[in-house]
Structures are given as C-alpha cells and as structure tokens.
Structure 1
Amino acid sequence: MLWLTATPSHAQTLWKDTQAGASLRTIQQQFSGAAHPTSPTMLADGSRELLRLPNTPAQGHAFDALFFFKQDRLTQVSLELQEKGGAVFALQTFRDLKSAFDAKYGAPDDEQDQTFDTATGTATFRSASWRSGRTLITLSYATAAGKLVVLNVAYRLAAERKTDDI
C-alpha cells in the first residue's frame, strides 16, 4: 500500500505555487531561505506566522513573505513592504500594485478608503480585494500621523459564500 503525504490535488493555490493546507515542512522545502521569525505575528483566526522569507521581490519592490499556519497547515501568505520611503512612497506603491491586480483580476470585489483624525494626527486605511478561484487576495495600506504603518498583500482561502439564506 502506498501512502502519500502531499497536499490534495484539489488544494487551492495561494501565492507562488503554495497550496492552502500545505505542511510547514513542504513550505520549508519550497522556500529554503525561509526561517522562523524572531517575533511571529498571530492572526485573528489563530493562525501563527511560523516562517518568514526576507527580501522577496514583487512588482519591483522588496517584501518579506510571511507564512501563517493553523494546526500545522498553511492558511495564509502575506507580503509586507520592507522598503523605506515613507507614506507617500507607500501610497504610490499601493496604487502601482492595485493597478497590477486590476489588470490581472479585473475590478476589485471590495474596496475601502477611510481617513479619520486621531489624537496623534490623521490616519488612513485603504484596501482592495480580488478573488482568484477560491483565493482571496487583499491589498492593504495604513498610515498614522503621516507615517506608514503597513502595506501588505494577503493571500488566503476565501470564505465560502452562503446563499441558502438569501
């Protein structure tokens, strides 16, 4: 009898041929430069960053690729901008990436653009999301007091759409 431990053939591709549900070992083999992060991030669903691949090029920019796992299975890959250049540079990068995603996937399924005042100054949050098969791709940008907080792209399985109640 032959036992295989590979990801099922129906698994959904997230980013760079990574498959949702892949094991930590599989991702380590796929990205030999990935290492355990010194300060791992945890997501709201309980997924934990177990691997980080530094200086990953995407659309002419340097990102860190963060690999999130839950119950030893890959749930999300996020790319975080690592280049320094401030909020204006990051906003232009957001626009460039959004244009690239628009060209590849069409108009976003969802967009948000919020600006609000805080005690330390103006804060801005922008995001756009696209679906590719069962993968949800979300581009996010946030600033506070004129400084970049985060610019990232998250790849994860999209929640199943329920139509029974409609």
Structure 2
Amino acid sequence: METSLRYGGGDSKKNQVKIHAKQKLQIDHSNTLLQLNGELNTRTGAPTFLCALVRHFYPDLSASVGAGLHYDKNEKVICTLRGKKAYPMTFNRSVNVVLKGRCDIDKELTQPTPHGALELVWNILDFQKDQDVRLKVGYEFVDKIPYAQIRENNWTFNADITGRWNVRYNL
C-alpha cells in the first residue's frame, strides 16, 4: 500500500493535513489492475474521498485507460473515465509529452465534467547520488490553468498560476 501525507495551500479552507492511501491489485497477471484510493482529513477524522478504479495499461503504446467510481466528502458518487498517453521525446524516455484526459459524470449520468491536460515531463535519474528528480509543466485545457510540479524522491510540490499549491510526502 502506498501512503502519503498531503498539505495544500492557497485556499484557507483546504489548509489541512490529509493522509492518502492507494492500493493497486493486479487482476489475473495481466496489464489490468484494480486501484483503490482514499484520503482521510486529520482534523475531522472523516474521509475526504474514496475511489475504486479499474485501469488497463498498454506498455507498448505508453498509454492507459481507466473507469471507476469516486465518492467525495459532499456525499456525491461520481463515475469517472480517464485516459493517458505518453509520447517519448528521447530514446531513454527521460523526456515525455503526456496527454491526459478525464471525464467525471454525476450519478444521474446527466452532467459530464471534462478535464484534460498536456504536460512536458523530464525525469532525471541520479540527479545526485540516490536522488531522482521529476520536473513537470502542464496546461489544463478546460480551466485554462498552467501548472508545475517538482518531485524529489519522496517529496512532491505542485503549484498553479491561480495560487493553489500542495506538498506531498510519500511514506
């Protein structure tokens, strides 16, 4: 199980430490897995969200698709569909252009909410001894928001142009 501590800023209502957990269960020795995610607000003790997703990976295409259910703290059940495709820019795949999309649909199947982003990702292995770094810049198409990410081993810092940011520490 993957666990992390998360703290977000830029919105005083969301400035809380959360515990996030993710478990991936491979289905029948294939490229398909069941991914379970959950997040717990440490101030209230209540779950922020729960999610179950079936994901299929296409390693030869550097792509994946997924579908599942997402339950958030507002007691909304959402159906979610997602896809992701990486286009390697170097032979060793250290620099990639990533196109990703997601569509969330309410439980009545009446209000689709699309999301899409284009990212430039640079993975630097052994930046220093025992230190890997990932630099990412992206643009969210629907909300028209540029964003960036810096990841160093267990630490990740995300920020966007609106002033929202968060930091994660993988345990």
TM range (shorter): 0.3 to 0.5
TM-score, with structure 1 as normaliser: 0.33
Which has more helix, going by share of residues?
Answer: 1
Which has more strand, going by share of residues?
Answer: 2
Larger RCO (CA under 8 A, 6+ residues apart): 1
TM-score, with structure 2 as normaliser: 0.32
